Structure 1
């Protein structure tokens, strides 16, 4: 089975509908789920319960990452997060900043 990865010039990497950084988010989430499965299994939780928990969280992870990828696109999520840190207005107590000549 072979997968096609779009790597044309000046285009983001796209794999199965995921674009750019969302591939990394999904990979990181899957690694975290693998570690969580190992921890749950080592503390003595039943294997079927571990599989149920990890399966549910994995499904939620895939749903959320694909939803973010389709909603925001390549750079939209970073722009959305950056916009939250912009002030709504600027307040100056003095006009000295605008009167200084350089």
Structure 2
């Protein structure tokens, strides 16, 4: 017997070149634009304004999502967010003697057998 191998196993979700988190940003953004469009239409705002708003915001969303996908790649946006969470520098306000005594206490607790 001969079995075909699925080449898509282990690869990220992709649609028209958009990968992973960009695909979710794209879909969620379009859904939110549609919801805002429907709310604006139901409130009674001019129909042409609603259509224009929907087309312009959807176009900006599509352009922005593909731009981010090209600029940062598959995991680049998550790496960019992670860099913002790192501290720029670490401040240690303990005295040097206290740091040394803490190290010594750890050695005493671990002990050598």
TM-score normalised by the chain length of structure 2: 0.77
Measure how far apart 1:82 and its partner are: 1.0
In structure 2, C-alpha distance between the alignment counterparts of 1:50 and 1:88, rounded to whole Å: 45
In structure 2, C-alpha distance between the alignment counterparts of 1:89 and 1:46, rounded to whole Å: 53
In structure 2, C-alpha distance between the alignment counterparts of 1:65 and 1:56, rounded to whole Å: 14
Please name the residue that 1:13 is paired with.
13
Please name the residue that 2:28 is paired with.
28
* Structure 1 residue ranges without an equivalent (≥5): 1-6
* Structure 2 residue ranges without an equivalent (≥5): 1-6
- Indicate the larger mover: 9-18 or 70-79: 9-18
Please name the residue that 1:67 is paired with.
67
Aligned-residue RMSD, C-alpha: 1.7
Measure how far apart 1:15 and its partner are: 1.2
Point out the structure with the larger helix share. 2
